[in-house]
Structure 1
Amino acid sequence: MIFASTGPKPEIVIQDAINNDIRIVRNEEHCLVYDRPMQASGLTKEEMLSWWKERQGTEDESDARRSLSQRLMASLASDGERNVFSVYYRAFKDLGDKLPALIPQVYLHYDPYTLAQLGGVGRLSRQRMDFLLLFSDAGRVVVEVDGSQHFAEDGKPSLARYADMVAADRDLRLAGYEVYRFGANELTGHGSAERIEAFFRRLLRKHAVLPGAGSAE
Structure 2
Amino acid sequence: MTGPVKLYELRNAIAETLRDALRSYEIPEACVSYGLEPGTESDAFSSKRWYVLSRIEKHNRAQLVALARQILDDHASPQLEDLIKRSGAQGASGEFRNLIFSADGPKPEIILTDAVSNIVKITKNEQFCLVYDRPIDSRGLTWKSLVSWWQEITRIEDSMMAGRHLYQRLSKSLASDPERVFFNRYCGAYANAEGWEWPALIPQVYMHYDPYTKASRSSQGPLIRQRMDFLLLLPGDIRIVVEIDGVHHYSSEGKPDPRRYAEMVSEDRKLRLAGYDVYRFGGYEFIEENGKAVVDNFIDTFCVRYELPVIDKSKWPA
What is the count of residue pairs matched by the alignment? Answer: 211
- 1:90 counterpart = 2:188: yes
Q: Shift of residue 46 of structure 1? A: 0.5
Question: Which of 104, 119, 135 is matched with 2:218 structurally?
Answer: 119
Normalized against structure 2, the TM-score is what? 0.64
Q: Shift of residue 92 of structure 1? A: 5.9
Q: How do residues 154-173 of structure 1 correspond to structure 2 at under 5 angstroms?
A: 154-173=253-272
Question: Which of 175, 199, 205 is matched with 2:304 structurally?
Answer: 205
- 1:100 counterpart = 2:199: yes
Q: Shift of residue 137 of structure 1? A: 4.7
- 1:144 counterpart = 2:211: no
Normalized against structure 1, the TM-score is what? 0.92
- Superposition misfits of 4+ residues, deviation over 3 angstroms: none
Match of 1:116, SS?
A: helix
Where does the alignment leave 5 or more consecutive residues of structure 2 unmatched?
Answer: 1-98, 311-318
> Hey, what's the Cα distance between the residues in 1 that align with 2:191 and 2:304?
15
Match of 1:15, SS?
A: strand
Residue in 2 aligned with 1:67? 165
Which structure would you say has the larger Rg?
2
Percent of aligned positions that are identical = 49
| Higher strand fraction (1 or 2) | 1
Question: Which of 31, 35, 54 is matched with 2:129 structurally?
Answer: 31
| Higher helix fraction (1 or 2) | 2
Residue in 1 aligned with 2:275? 176
Per-residue CA deviations over 1:17-74 (Å, capped at 9, x if unaligned) read 2222111000101110011112232100100000000011121223211210110000
Cα RMSD for the two superposed structures: 1.4
Q: Quick check: 1:98–1:209 contact (8 Å CA) kept in 2?
A: no
Question: Which of 83, 89, 102 is matched with 1:4 structurally?
Answer: 102
Q: Quick check: 1:138–1:176 contact (8 Å CA) kept in 2?
A: no
Q: Shift of residue 108 of structure 1? A: 0.7
Q: Shift of residue 82 of structure 1? A: 0.5
